[in-house]
Amino acid sequence: MKKSYNPISDVRNESVEVSRRLYRAISDVSRHLDDCRGRAQTCSDLFSPSVETQRVKLREYCERLIFSDPVGYGRKGEELLWRKGYYDVVTTAKRLRKNNIWSPLEVAYMQGHLAAGVGHYHHLLFRLQIEFKLDLHGIVDFPLQIYDGGLMKDKVSSSSNTLDSGCVDWAKQAAHRCLVYLGDLSRYFLDLYPRWDSGLAARYYLQALNMNVDIGMPHNQLGTLSGTSNYGLDAAYHYMRCLTCRQPFEGAEGNLRRLLEKNTQWLEEHCKSQNDQVEDTLSIHHAEHIHRLFARFLLLIDIWFFDKTSLIESHQVCHQMLLDLQHCLTYTKPFPNGDDCEMKAGQLDLEQLSIFQGSEEIQDRPEYLREDLVFKMIVMSLLCMTKLQTSGSQQVSAVVAFTLAMFSQLVQQVIHHIQDSVFNISFQSLPSPTTIASSSLELNLTDFSARDGNIKIPHDGINISQQPSDQSCTGESAVPLVNGCADENDSQEAKAVIKKKKSKLLQRLRKRRRRRRRRLNSSEDSDLSDG
């Protein structure tokens, strides 16, 4: 009997065999690269021509493995590409540098390595969109743009267009991981150039969150990127968001605990007793006061988020923190000269514009509570409340009361700002009642003929007088205004004069309308009689 020939099974077996050979080749190259890293004495040894050749082979083999068998070997290929191709090189170079200072040659090597990684992962993102028909419009700000209008399209069978759902799901997850890797590579530039813009790395992390908000890894990376910005509040916020995601990153809990321990140590060293704190509230600098506010808030977060039985009384810390919040909410946005910003013709000075755009110094030591900081404090309180409610802790009532007190202070502050802004605008933009009265009198008096009166304005002030020459205008007294201001009685008299003028004008208009109506009626009657 002849053996039955099945071409589909043969193709599958062949692809599996190719994937196995690629994986073995990648393992061999990885071992060779590990040996080279172990023998390296300087950063230059990591970038020798032979090592670079092996690293290029590794990238090529990993990319072929990823797209040849996405479901079986895709995840392994991604990990090997990232760790052996990029991450291990960066960590080894940091260890080999002398005195934690990069030499110009080392900076050049590392910059080329990181730039190559950014380009490679951009290439992988574009290829994922092509191979698996991923539509990343609205998710990333650099989606693949394909304009094939006017091109002839061959007829393609429907079977070739169908993609395995498992492959598509893997492709979406791989695109998400590529965005995280791009953020890491951009973050490593900060080690080479401390003044490098951290917003580039945050951009990739935020796009990864936009793609899949259930994965907590981007939040952990954002916390690492934040560092000590805003006295650790930003980092604690992102670590907590990472731990409360559906797929949290395990290392975020250790990062958060270490951050909160450092905050507790600072609070014990710098903060005094409660009585001394109340006396120094007005004399303390704004940045130091906000630092103390965040330190006490993070101490409460440490107690509530991990449900600790605190050695100190938490209600005292809550009271002190709410007092600090009340004072810090009154701090206004600073300006370079210490004065209020005055906008002339819709333009701002360049120095003042830099205040609104933000800078690293302002991020490290904020002198007023920005809206994003208040938002993060509220979210962190709500996260503690949710976690304690889930675990059935007895500290839920304390967190609820504390959060409500914060909301109450914020609402009071908003009402206060609205009242101040409305009253300032109304009193600054609107003229005084006496000015309105004088201007309206001038307008009304000019509507009359010359025989109704005379207007006299002396040099020492504004004096509006009217000499009666008609019966309709008799019995009206003059309204003196000295230097543009008058007392309340004068303003009331002016208002009474205005009301009388308006009523007389309305009476005259009504009489004219009645005369016109009579004329029209008489003309219509004459037309009917003629007919």
Residue 319 DSSP label: H
- In the 3-class helix/strand/coil scheme, how is 454-523 assigned residue by residue? CCCCCCCCEEECCCCCCHHHCCCCCEEEECCECCHHHHHHHHHHHHHHHHHHHHHHHHHHHHHHHHHHHH
Q: How many CB atoms lie within 10 A of CB 204?
A: 25
What whole-number distance in Å separates Cα of residue 179 and Cα of residue 248? Answer: 17
Instruction: Give the rounded distance of the alpha carbon of 349 from its chain centre.
Output: 24
| Listed residue (29, 116, 132, 118) closest to 74, CA to CA | 132
Residues 324, 406: contact at Cβ < 8 Å? no
E strand or H helix at 18? helix 7-39
What whole-number distance in Å separates Cα of residue 347 and Cα of residue 252? Answer: 44
Instruction: Give the rounded distance of the alpha carbon of 256 from its chain centre.
Output: 22
In order along its 531 residues, the chain shows pLDDT tens digits of 444 545 555 556 677 888 999 999 999 999 999 999 999 999 999 999 999 999 999 999 999 999 999 999 999 999 999 999 999 999 999 999 988 899 999 999 999 999 999 999 999 999 999 999 999 999 999 998 876 555 565 554 444 456 788 899 999 999 999 999 999 999 999 999 998 889 999 999 999 999 999 999 999 999 999 998 999 999 999 999 999 999 999 999 999 999 999 999 999 888 754 444 544 555 578 889 999 999 999 999 999 999 987 656 788 899 999 999 999 999 888 765 544 444 444 444 444 334 334 445 556 778 899 999 999 999 999 999 999 999 999 999 999 999 999 999 999 999 988 888 887 766 555 555 555 444 444 444 444 444 444 444 444 444 444 444 444 444 444 444 444 444 455 556 656 666 666 677 677 767 666 666 665 555 444 443 444
What whole-number distance in Å separates Cα of residue 487 and Cα of residue 134? Answer: 75
pLDDT tens digits, 144-183: 887 655 556 555 444 445 678 889 999 999 999 999 999 9
Residues 452, 470: contact at Cβ < 8 Å? yes
Residues 296, 321: contact at Cβ < 8 Å? yes
Residues 438, 457: contact at Cβ < 8 Å? no
Those residues whose C-beta lies under 8 Å from the C-beta of residue 270, and which sit 6 or more positions away, are: 292, 295
Residue 432 DSSP label: P
What whole-number distance in Å separates Cα of residue 104 and Cα of residue 192? Answer: 10
Residue 84 DSSP label: I
Residues 490, 479: contact at Cβ < 8 Å? yes
pLDDT tens digits, 297-332: 999 999 999 998 765 678 889 999 999 999 999 988
Q: What is the CA radius of gyration of the chain?
A: 38
E strand or H helix at 56? helix 49-68
Q: Which residue has the tokens 């043969």?
A: 10
Helix (H, G, I), strand (E, B) or coil at 402: helix
Residues 441, 479: contact at Cβ < 8 Å? yes
